[in-house]
């Protein structure tokens, strides 16, 4: 029997959750740029910073000030055992540590200093430079510290392969092909610039044993690599010159207006170096624009030890803005609030209206969709597009919204892969044979459909009232086929099975799958079984390599929110598990309305490269709290048991008071 005390405790718990949501909304609104967008910092690992110094050394533009600021940052990230990891509290990584050591030596750190000695010992204990990944050894070859003969060959003549041929550049994911093309130039020219320091102390003097079955694709491609190295020594002059010219033209044609290539670090640095090795001077418009744009990806911070300088591998303003608008809508912010209108207008100005590389596989796909960053218009992605459409539908209706959404729907229909799922940037980018190449020993190099991306798109189509479309029914079946035996789904772009499950369950329910369906109930059981004793959810990034870590890890705000979103969609909004999760969010909230989340919960390359999105710890908890509390309503008038004013609930309470101007100012990335 429910007692008066039970009702009082229940009411108090809901009241505390509402107050936590109000503080979080206020904090999120305070982060909005006057032009309407949000952008949190993206943390990765110190290879970005080490390779920035190496790039500058290669180009001859490294300055003492830049070097010391970067070195200060790299030193601050070193672990007690002397290593550097690829994510917070992750294990030490050999290649990352080797590159960090070389960068610090370049900065003038004494090799006999304690921190350098520890780093060197870690590198040697884990196989030395001989055991590092291909990319690390390629950097060494650029400075004569490694033989080009011992780097896997990638001839620039690859650019001539037609799109149907194996290993043509479009067989690789967009991020990989933009990296590989400039690397073919560097591999052909084999430049040797002066590093100024030696790396000999990091060598063991023996190559690691990498056993390969004699009859296998890998063995065949190792033999092919030897043949290609022989060709490199006797490349046909006219063909080679034409290949280099074609590669340069391909690179230049894909430079974004901010100077980047795809808005990401690897193709950016390699393209600059490749063009410079070809003879392009630093004041050439392509290089000059590229170097100017690089500064916008540079973060500075004043610390007690001095100013630090670090590089963002990429930026996420479109993604962050879409997620922020969705979160505010979930929290009950009216669709016509000034903040929502400004965000809507900015997002509309970011729509991609040009065709990119995806047209190679989908020549009839119309232009449309949204990209991840301010200026990577050559590569709109399906995930951003789905989330932007969901965000736009939470803002005040306007004819231009309907037009943009119509174009996005047409583009997404064309981008569906044959299996029924969606990849992020390309359709049917699934040729796994690429992984057998000796060059491909690091990170994802293809872009196959993933459950999280497909789920976001299914949810968006369902939200548009199109759940019965053939493309959506195919996608739903594909998602059901992808469910793991334990009831979860793999997370390609977020960590990991909590992210995948948190995306798929709301999508399947939105698409009409009944909550009692065995797939939904299996996911609910998996989530409940993996709730931590403190009420939250967490999943360590080691789950990408070790199944024992699936759904296991310290509780984090973003991962707790993903679990809550799935359980709420499955009809578990009033369950004890959900309210234990809500209580964890309430109890761990900071005074400013945000949450601490040092963990990395974003994924670049599963098993190799991870991202900490600073906005995740805020936007996802807001969405989860808003939905569980019943704040969300399409009209923005009545939201659950509260009525919103400008942003949230009863005006007689001490609620959010965020005054914002309503004028529309054109941002630097919007057309005049």
Task: Tell me whether residue 484 is exposed, middle or buried, using C-beta atoms within 10 angstroms of its C-beta: 0 to 12, 13 to 18, 19 or more.
Answer: middle
Largest separation between any pair of C-alpha atoms in the chain: 89
Over residues 568-589, mean pLDDT: 97
DSSP string, 567-599: HHHTT-TTSHHHHHHHHHHHHHB-TTS-B---S
Whether residue 261 lies inside any domain: the answer is no
Catalytic residue, from 383, 426, 447, 452: name it.
383
Task: Let me know: does 187 contact 154? Beta carbons within 8 Å.
Answer: yes
Kindly tell me if the per-residue pLDDT of 594 is higher than 90.
yes
The domain that contains 458 carries what CATH number?
1.50.10.20
Task: Tell me whether residue 194 is exposed, middle or buried, using C-beta atoms within 10 angstroms of its C-beta: 0 to 12, 13 to 18, 19 or more.
Answer: exposed
Residue 594, domain extent: 7-42+315-415+450-643
Over residues 592-599, mean pLDDT: 97
Whether residue 437 lies inside any domain: the answer is no
Percentage above 90 pLDDT, the chain: 83
Whether residue 586 lies inside any domain: the answer is yes
Structure pTM?
A: 0.91
Whether residue 319 lies inside any domain: the answer is yes
What is the pLDDT at residue 376? 86
Helix and strand counts by DSSP (H, E) for the chain:
22, 7
Residue 660 pLDDT level (bands cut at 50, 70, 90): very low
Task: Tell me the pLDDT tens digit for each residue of 51-79.
Answer: 999 999 999 999 999 999 999 999 999 99
Nearest to 375 by CA among 352, 344, 408: 352
User: Does the annotation count 5 as an active-site position?
Assistant: no
Whether residue 627 lies inside any domain: the answer is yes
Whether residue 549 lies inside any domain: the answer is yes
DSSP string, 344-411: HHHHHHT---S--GGGGT-TTPPS--B-SSSS-TT--BHHHHHHHHHHHTTS---HHHHHHHHHHHHH
Domains identified in the chain, total number: 1
How would you list the strands of the sheet with 42-43, edge to edge? Answer: 42-43, 609-613, 602-605
Whether residue 581 lies inside any domain: the answer is yes
Task: Tell me the pLDDT tens digit for each residue of 151-210.
Answer: 988 899 999 999 889 889 999 999 999 999 999 999 999 999 999 999 999 999 877 666
Task: Let me know: does 339 contact 327? Beta carbons within 8 Å.
Answer: no
Between CA 471 and CA 464 the distance in angstroms is 13
**How does DSSP classify residue 545?**
T
Whether residue 582 lies inside any domain: the answer is yes
């Amino acid at each position: 029997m429910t007692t008066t005390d039970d009702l009082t405790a229940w009411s108090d718990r809901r009241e505390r959750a509402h107050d936590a949501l109000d503080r979080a909304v206020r904090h999120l609104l305070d982060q909005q740029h006057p032009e309407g967008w949000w952008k949190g910092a993206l943390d990765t690992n110190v290879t970005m910073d080490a390779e920035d110094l190496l790039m500058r050394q290669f180009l001859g533009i490294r300055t003492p000030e830049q070097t010391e600021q970067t070195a200060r940052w790299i030193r601050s990230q070193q672990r007690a055992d002397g290593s550097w990891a690829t994510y917070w509290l992750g294990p030490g990584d050999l290649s990352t540590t080797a590159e960090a050591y070389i960068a610090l030596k370049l900065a003038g750190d004494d090799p006999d200093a304690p921190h350098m000695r520890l780093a060197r010992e870690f590198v040697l204990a884990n196989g030395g430079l001989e055991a590092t990944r291909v990319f690390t050894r390629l950097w060494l070859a650029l400075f004569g510290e490694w033989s080009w003969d011992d780097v896997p060959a990638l001839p620039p003549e690859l650019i001539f392969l037609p799109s149907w041929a194996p290993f043509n550049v479009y067989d690789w994911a967009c991020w990989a092909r933009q990296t590989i093309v400039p690397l073919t130039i560097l591999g052909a020219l084999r430049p040797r610039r002066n590093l100024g320091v030696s790396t000999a102390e990091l060598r063991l003097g023996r190559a690691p044993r990498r056993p390969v079955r004699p009859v296998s694709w890998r063995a065949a491609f190792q033999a092919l690599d030897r043949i290609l190295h022989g060709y490199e020594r006797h490349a046909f002059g006219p063909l080679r010159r034409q290949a280099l010219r074609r590669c340069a033209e391909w690179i230049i044609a894909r430079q974004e207006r901010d100077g980047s290539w795809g808005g990401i670090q690897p193709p950016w640095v390699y393209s600059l170096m490749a063009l410079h090795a070809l003879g392009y001077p630093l004041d050439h418009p392509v290089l000059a624009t590229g170097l100017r744009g690089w500064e916008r990806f540079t973060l500075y911070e004043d610390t007690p030890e001095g100013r630090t300088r670090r590089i963002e591998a990429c930026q996420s303003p479109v993604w962050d803005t879409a997620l922020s608008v969705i979160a505010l809508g979930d929290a009950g912010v009216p669709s016509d609030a000034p903040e929502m209108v400004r965000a809507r207008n900015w997002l509309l100005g970011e729509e991609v209206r040009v065709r990119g590389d995806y047209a190679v596989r989908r020549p009839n796909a119309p232009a449309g969709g949204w990209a991840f960053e301010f200026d990577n218009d050559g590569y709109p992605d399906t995930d951003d597009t789905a989330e932007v459409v969901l965000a736009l539908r939470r803002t005040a209706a306007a004819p231009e919204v309907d037009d943009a959404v119509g174009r996005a729907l047409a583009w997404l229909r064309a981008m569906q892969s044959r299996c029924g799922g969606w990849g992020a940037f390309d359709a049917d980018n699934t040729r796994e044979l690429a992984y057998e190449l000796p060059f491909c020993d690091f990170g994802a190099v293809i872009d196959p459909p993933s459950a999280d991306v497909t789920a976001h798109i299914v949810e968006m189509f369902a939200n548009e009232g199109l759940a019965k479309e053939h493309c959506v029914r195919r996608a739903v079946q594909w998602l059901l086929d992808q469910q793991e035996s334990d009831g979860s789904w793999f997370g390609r772009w977020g960590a990991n099975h909590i992210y995948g499950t948190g995306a798929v369950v709301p999508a399947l329910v939105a698409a009409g799958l009944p909550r009692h369906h065995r797939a939904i109930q299996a996911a609910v059981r998996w989530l409940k079984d993996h709730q931590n004793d403190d009420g939250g959810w967490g999943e360590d990034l080691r789950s990408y390599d070790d199944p024992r870590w699936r759904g296991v890890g310290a509780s984090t705000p973003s991962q707790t929110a993903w679990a809550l979103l799935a359980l709420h969609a499955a009809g578990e909004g009033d369950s004890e598990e959900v309210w234990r999760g809500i209580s964890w969010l309430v109890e761990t909230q900071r005074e400013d309305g945000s949450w601490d989340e040092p963990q990395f919960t974003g994924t670049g390359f599963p098993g190799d490269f991870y991202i900490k999105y600073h906005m995740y710890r805020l936007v996802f908890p807001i969405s989860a709290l808003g939905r569980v509390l019943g704040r969300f309503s399409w009209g923005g008038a009545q939201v659950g048991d509260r009525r919103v004013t400008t942003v949230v609930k009863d005006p007689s309470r001490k609620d959010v008071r965020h005054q914002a101007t309503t004028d529309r100012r054109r941002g630097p990335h919007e057309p005049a």
